[in-house]
Homo-oligomer: A and B are copies of this chain.
Amino acid sequence: MSNLKSQIRVAILGYGNIGKAAEEAIKTAPDMELAGIYHHDDCLDKISNVKSQISNDERPVDVVLVCTPTREVQKFASVLAARGICTVDSFDIHGQIWNLREALDAVCTVNKSVSVISAGWDPGTDSMVRALFMAMAPKGLTYTNFGPGRSMGHTVAAKAIKGVKNALSMTIPLGTGIHRRMVYIELEEGAEFKTVEAAILADDYFAHDETHVIAVDSVDALNNVAHGVNLVRSGVSGETHNQRFEFNMEINNPALTGQIMVSAARAAFRMKARGEFGAKTMIELRPIDLLPGTIEQNVKALV
């Protein structure tokens, strides 16, 4: 095992919730070692600095986990991929994933690297489950029900409303892909609850969902990184209807995201070693490539 331990050298770029969780996952992986942590703040507009840090290392960095804010993923991943270094990100803007894949795929193909993109839980492992459900029952309806858990996008939208000092927007699953928004707010001094509530309810982020606004003394006291999903499909296998499938999870959100990125780093490393260059989403990865151990060990243990 000891020579396996140092087989894959993985670095972290961006040291927030996800970067810290990824660090723990690297340390517990039997076949990886932590090659370095690059703080995102140090790197902004200092990409050349990261590059020289990485290339001056005694041994090359195999994979960099890009744990920056999602809108900065492409900038950093492109630079790294262009140097032949594999990257993994958890880019989570669903409508822009194909564009990111196209942009990074071109860089990876030319520079013989692999970028695994959108490697979180949704997009990410949920995507793999949705693909599997489609393979098992090609016709039918899949619903992805999120939560209960914090929605980053909605929380930011609520914080931006005038009179809101701090906010937390929880996503509550109501089934068939419909969600309730529970918005907890701390009011600015002198702000009227009714006015703030009306502004939140009118905001485009909340106007289309059942939304409840609740004033609290401390948003911080409510903070919890728990999240979950209930992913259901009723479909048709061949000509047989009423085939029912369900995937549930209740998890610590950054811990799971960090772990998935680390498992995806293993897949990136192996694909590069096999000459399978390019940018890939999770549904394009072989599940076995996510796991330590040999093919024989995993087939015997899991199949």
Spell out A's residues near B (CB within 8 Å): 21-25, 27-29, 94, 97-98, 101, 118, 121, 123, 125, 127-132, 134-139, 236-240, 242-252, 255-256, 258-260, 262-263, 281-288, 290-292, 295-296, 298-300, 302-303
B239 and A252 form a contact (CB under 8 A): no
Q: Which residues of B contact A295 (CB under 8 A)?
A: 284
Q: Which residues of B contact A130 (CB under 8 A)?
A: 302
Tell me the minimal C-beta distance from A115 to chain B in angstroms: 14
Q: Which residues of B contact A242 (CB under 8 A)?
A: 252
A125 and B132 form a contact (CB under 8 A): yes
B136 and A260 form a contact (CB under 8 A): yes
CA distance A86 to B131 in the complex (A): 23
CA distance A127 to B244 in the complex (A): 18
- Please give me the residue from chain B that is nearest to A258 by CB atom: B238
A-B contact pairs, 25 of them (CB 8 A): A21-B237, A28-B139, A28-B236, A94-B303, A98-B296, A98-B299, A125-B136, A127-B303, A129-B247, A131-B291, A134-B290, A135-B263, A135-B290, A136-B249, A138-B259, A237-B256, A243-B249, A243-B250, A244-B251, A246-B248, A282-B303, A283-B299, A284-B286, A284-B287, A286-B286
B238 and A24 form a contact (CB under 8 A): yes
Among B255, B290, B299, the residue within 8 A (CB) of A238 is B255
Residues A243 and B238 in contact in the complex (CB < 8 Å), given A98-B299, A287-B132, A303-B281: no
Among B25, B239, B298, the residue within 8 A (CB) of A131 is B298
Among B22, B28, B98, B247, the residue within 8 A (CB) of A300 is B98
CA distance A213 to B181 in the complex (A): 52
CA distance A129 to B245 in the complex (A): 12
Q: Which residues of B contact A243 (CB under 8 A)?
A: 249-252, 255-256
B131 and A260 form a contact (CB under 8 A): no
- Please give me the residue from chain B that is nearest to A23 by CB atom: B238
Q: Which residues of B contact A285 (CB under 8 A)?
A: 286
B240 and A245 form a contact (CB under 8 A): no
Q: Which residues of B contact A299 (CB under 8 A)?
A: 97-98, 101, 281, 283-284
A239 and B24 form a contact (CB under 8 A): yes
A246 and B247 form a contact (CB under 8 A): yes
Among B123, B252, B298, the residue within 8 A (CB) of A240 is B252
Q: Which residues of B contact A256 (CB under 8 A)?
A: 136-137, 237, 240, 243
A123 and B303 form a contact (CB under 8 A): yes
Tell me the minimal C-beta distance from A287 to chain B in angstroms: 4
